[in-house]
Structure 1
């Protein structure tokens, strides 16, 4: 179970997210976004180790998340989400996710949280879960936390069971530069700007708010039955 203090945070953030989604349906239109992420394990069997990965997706092709649908997601099927993560001398990709094949490629997923768009935290958070036999041990990159040796999905509802942190860095755009004659995202879709500036690329710091949002998503993200195919 999640800690009582975080339960209240989850509830408060849920209301804020729903209200924000009503006025801002999607991020500013862009092309392919590229991220690198670094996992630092701080306790447990793998303490002191650092593992690295990356992912990319088309943020102009976000779709309603499978659960909860009030949020928008980047998925392999709809948003060309791909990822690579090296852990314990093995490299994993999006197809390694425990729900990739059973969810019509709706997972792994990158969740978009518009109420974080103008903060120091990037408004995207990765949810990636791998279980044996795909990997020797179970692990999850879950927002800004890293879990390993999970006994079941409920472990991810308790931040206290995390063994490390995840640091994200947005990389430079690899898409061709926009020509001066091209319309800006605001000119194409004024409502998408909503009077707010598009955030500059930045690094994601650990965020309790982002963790709270991911906790809300987790309750309905996966079915326990998928643990025992």
Structure 2
């Protein structure tokens, strides 16, 4: 039987995030203002064809795969990203930290999008914040660092959008925010996990320090719906 973390987007959209889902039984995707991710029951040519048929013109999607996928011709492959999937294996709930952490809400979305566009941790749209538990650190009234939750294939909850403004790197802000995210997830009797590019050595080192271990390789495919030629 497939582990839910082998296909986290599909299993999240089929359960805890069903209220954010569009699509059919075998092909689901988040509403356009939440995020660009799609989850397929399996990454078959048939399901990619179905996604093409049921989605809007010019749609852009990101989907995950554990092994390489041949992208059907009607889709434009924009890029693919080789990643590690990490799962938290620590046993201790992190201690409180002295740094002031702010729960982020709708009034912060513009700043959050600006920080994401600068640092490129992954897709973040106008209502991505509805996926919950975004927290940040402000310096002189400006958002300097943040992270939140994304996919929730219960009992696993993903930490996502981990990013820090370049002017504030090296100050330990991501470490402090991640400690709080781990704590919040563990106190719900859930298990933290996350994804990171294989070439992001600094982040990989940080995640291992916090108690995360590599669970599997993962590939993120970014595809765009192209109009069929007459």
Fold shared by both chains (TM-score > 0.5) = no
Higher strand content, 1 or 2: 2
TM-score after normalising by structure 2:
0.29
Whose RCO is larger (CA < 8 A, sep 6+)? 2
TM-score of the superposed pair, with normalisation by structure 1: 0.29
